Structure 1
Amino acid sequence: MYNFQLLLHNYAFNENDVRILKELSPLARTNVDDFLILFYKRIFTFEHASHFLSNDTIIQRHRRKIRAWFLRLFNGIYDEAYFEMLHRISQTHVRIALPNHYVNAALHVVRSFLREMLISHQRIDALKSVDKLIDMHIDALSGIYNATEQTDILKTIKTIHQSLHKEGKGVIPYVQPIFNTRTLQLDKYECLMRIKDVNEIILPFKFIEIAQKTGLYCDLSRLMMSKVLDFFSEREEAFNINLSFEDVNEYMTKDFLEKRLSTFTRPSRITFEILESQSFDNTKALEEFIVMVRSYGCQIAIDDFGTGFSNFDHILSLSPNSLKIDGSLIKDIDHNTMHYDIVENIHHLAHKLGIATVAEYVHSKAVLQKVQAIGIDYAQGFYLGIPQEIGTITCKTSNSN
């Protein structure tokens, strides 16, 4: 149960505040319709609102609840049941994945409206009590977000630590095939990191940022690369390894890679993918890294091209072997003419520079056909092949660099 007594104490909310707010009840009833007009005008500027409030029936039900809540602000009863009601509302917000800043923005609308209402009706004496009430709402409605976030972070950190121990069995390399668009033959694999929590496979977006903030990312990355290199060492396939700037800047990672590449069978099969949006942070470190891996015959790809700076001068200085065009541009080129034109221009300019192109996020036959029409060299995506655990692949690529 929510500790409402502590909340009331922290905000010095007292009987005088209760009396003042209760006096405002008739004024609130008179102005509730104006409040609802302003409230919905504001929240529908949020993209999330159009998904959650998706039809008239849902909007009307939501409107009735907001109306009742607004009037209840001034009923003079702020007890355990009232704050438990706020706790349930916050649980609903978390369940539908409503970002906490949306909740804060909505309460800001409430505060602004009430201030205007009080000033226009010469009830400036009530401003302090209203501010206390809204502050307590922000605190109560944000509490479960903080608790949920903390619980999730601690759970993720624990899972990362467990993945790094027990002989590293919790780090699971996955691979996704990349195909030649002209022959539709398998050309190589992109290696993707996953970690395992009991029987659940966890995707990178759930743990990478936390790993980076806690200094655990490079340990995960080296373990991932070690497993990939071990697997492909006695095979023939070509494959791609993703690198972040933490990898490029980390001495232990660079030393690890140099040692492994010096004994690896035909390292020319390896392409290192570097995010375009990160590749401008430390040009010297990146260029030194590229010189090192290229000395072993490895190739360089710029990943997610088109989402970052798209600085072709800098890209040219890195002399990449390929550009992987970001999925946000590829996924709808079968009907988005602007994205089609952008992708076509990227492809033509890359070819003039002697750089191969790869289309990510090819999720349908229609998208693949557009990719082929443009002349993009390679493609990957769920339509062509989903990511699978590295140990399950059996077929060999046609690439034997």
Structure 2
Amino acid sequence: MDQFKVINDTCGHIAGDELLRQLGALLGNSTRKSDTLARLGGDEFAILVEDCELEKAESIANEIKELVSQFQFIWESQIFTVGVSIGVTMVTSHTRDRTEALKQADSACYAAKNSGRNRVYIYQEQDQQLTTQKGEFKWVNEIKDALAENRFELYAQPIVSTTTGFLEMYEVLVRLRNKAGQLFPPGAFLSSAERYNLSERIDKWVVSHVFEWLEQHYTLLPHLKYLAINLSGASLGKEDMLSFINTKLSSASFRREMIKFEITETAAIGNLKQAHYFIDSLSKLGCQFSLDDFGSGLSSFAYLKNLPVQSIKIDGMFVKDMHVDPLDYEMVKSINDIGHVMGLETIAEFVENEEIWQKLKAIGVDYGQGYHLGKPEPIAGILHHAKTIAPVA
């Protein structure tokens, strides 16, 4: 069911349960006596349609989709419309067992969701989208296992001052080590985590372990300004995540300003009201915020006025070629100038060579981050750098 979570979160679990009951009754009345209707769990239902060709099954699925689209759920004077994403698969003599049939239907259902929701998707063996999805499913299991077995690891990349060159700030990055010992960067698994609602669990793991590490070592880091922690769009504005961070902070001894949360511009714009509340709540406790990938969204500067952040990270898509592309150079310069007018610190990502670094210094960008200045390394490396505070460039 599409939008079930919205209704469940907005109106509560009792409303969610009633919606499921009404939808179940609606589906029951629309199926034949020979068909089997079952609730698989959560907001997922399955219908086994016997003695039916694929064309007819697709027609039935579309009829159900239209029926649900016309259905209105009323709760405490509020009217909600819902939709369904439906996956269809044929059970033939080649289908090994019911588990395989359910996997195929589930895969097609997710493809329907990913294609825009409220639609029907037919499972086909050689479908490229389903093949891609199958790879993502493998990551889902890998992520769940890594969370259960504590196989994520913290790395840190320095954020360097353009004026002093000191290592006083770091962005914390997460890595996943599989059972064979191979280490994977976030780009390999985070898209799957976001797609299958696992990113919030990863965020909690990172927050918990960063706080724990900082609690153990902050007395050895007198010059550390902050550690930057990335939060996904799924976590932004969630009361559960807010409560989780509050609880962790309440038992911490380190200075709250030693924690800076990074949120992407697109995630903030997509949940502007929630983002503002989330940022404001943690800012009052002393935490800092940075808007990541700034310049990648629409109307960036207009939204910036409404978000109480302390810094912006200029999108690397503009920085990486600014030494050879005049337009990119001017974009970086403009973002930096407006950021400073608003009283914000500016950080440039993707500093990959000395030429870029020197241009950032000339423009007056406050900080840089990239492989030219320092590669990500295990977080324990911060302790080594703390013993020898010296410019890197």
TM-score by length of 2: 0.62
> Would the aligned equivalents of 2:261 and 2:288 in 1 still touch at CA under 8 Å?
yes
Is the 1:276–1:310 contact (alpha carbons within 8 Å) kept by the matching residues of 2? no
Pairing of 1:96-111 with structure 2 (within 5 A): none
- 270, 284, 290: which is aligned to 2:259? 270
- Contact 2:137–2:192, Cα closer than 8 Å, also in 1: no
The correspondence for 2:312, drawn from 323, 329, 341, is 323
For residues 147 and 308 of structure 1, the distance between their equivalents in structure 2, rounded to whole angstroms, comes to 29
Mapped pair 1:158 → 2:141: yes
> Which of the numbers 153, 156, 171 marks the counterpart of 1:172?
153
Kindly name which structure, 1 or 2, has the bigger radius of gyration based on alpha carbons.
1
Bigger proportion of residues as helix:
1
Aligned counterpart, 2:378: 389
| 3-state secondary structure, aligned to 2:145 | helix
Determine the C-alpha separation between the residues in 2 that align with 1:356 and 1:310.
20
Deviation at 1:209, TM superposition (A): 2.0
Deviations 1:311-358 (A, max 9, x none): 323212213211100111001111111110111111111111111110
| Contact 2:279 2:309 (8 Å CA) reproduced | no
CA drift at 1:384: 0.4
CA–CA distance in 2 between the matches of 1:304 and 1:147?
30
What secondary structure is seen at the aligned counterpart in 2 of 1:362? coil
Q: Which residue of 1 aligns with 2:274?
A: 285
Q: Alignment partner for residue 369 of structure 1, among 346, 354, 358?
A: 358
Identical residues among aligned pairs (%): 31
Q: How does 1:52-131 map to 2 (within 5 A)?
A: none
Corresponding residue to 1:295 among 281, 284, 292: 284
- The alpha-carbon distance between structure 1 residues 160 and 180, as it changes in their structure 2 partners (threshold 3 A), is same
Q: Deviation per CA, 1:100-132, whole angstroms, max 9, x where unpaired?
A: xxxxxxxxxxxxxxxxxxxxxxxxxxxxxxxxx
Q: Is 1:229 the counterpart of 2:219 in the alignment?
A: no
CA contact (8 A) 1:179 1:188 kept: yes
Distance (Å, rounded) in 2 between the aligned partners of 1:259 and 1:272: 16
What is the Cα deviation at residue 395 of structure 1? 1.7
Q: Show the counterpart of 1:111.
A: none
Equivalence for 2:181: 199
Q: What is the CA distance between 1:306 and its match in structure 2?
A: 0.8
Q: Deviations over 1:163-219 (max 9, x none)?
A: 1112x2x11111110000111111200011221112111222221121122222211
| Alpha-carbon RMSD | 2.4
> Which fold has the larger relative contact order, with Cα–Cα distance below 8 Å and residues 6 or more apart in sequence?
1
Quote the residue 2:301 is aligned against. Answer: 312
CA contact (8 A) 2:199 2:232 kept: no
8 Å contact 2:347–2:366 — kept in the other structure? yes
Aligned to 1:143, what secondary structure does the other structure show?
coil
Task: Please say if 1:214 is aligned against 2:213.
Answer: no
For 2:129 and 2:323, the matched residues in 1 are separated by 42
Do structure 1's residue 243 and structure 2's residue 242 form an aligned pair?
no
Match of 2:245 in 1: 257
SS of the equivalent of 1:189 reads strand
| Conservation of the 8 A alpha-carbon contact between 1:218 and 1:250 | no
Consecutive unaligned residues of structure 2, counting only runs of 5 or more, are 1-53, 56-122
For the 8 Å contact 1:363–1:382, the answer to whether it is kept is yes
Shift of 1:148: 4.4
Q: Which amino acid aligns with 1:243?
A: L
Letter in structure 1 aligned against 2:241: T
- Give the AA of the match of 2:295: G
Cα displacement (A) at 1:144: 7.4
**Residue 187 in structure 1 maps to residue 168 in structure 2:** yes
Counterpart AA for 1:149: T
Matched positions, count: 261
SS of equivalent to 1:187: strand
Do structure 1's residue 143 and structure 2's residue 133 form an aligned pair? no
Give 3-state SS (helix, strand or coil) of 1:318's partner. coil
What TM-score do the two structures reach when normalised by structure 1?
0.61
Give yes or no for contact 1:329–1:339 (8 Å, CA) kept in 2: yes
Deviations 1:277-321 (A, max 9, x none): 111122221111112111121111110001112432321221321
SS in 2 for 1:256: helix
Contact 2:280 2:308 in 1 (8 A): no
CA distance in 2, matches of 1:207, 1:145: 19
1:50-90 deviation per Cα after TM superposition (whole angstroms, max 9, x unaligned): xxxxxxxxxxxxxxxxxxxxxxxxxxxxxxxxxxxxxxxxx
| Inter-CA distance 249–317: structure 2 relative to 1 (3 Å threshold) | closer
Counterpart Cα distance in 1 of 2:314 and 2:133: 36
Query: Quick one: distance in 2 between partners of 1:289 and 1:396?
Result: 32
Q: Which has the higher strand share?
A: 2
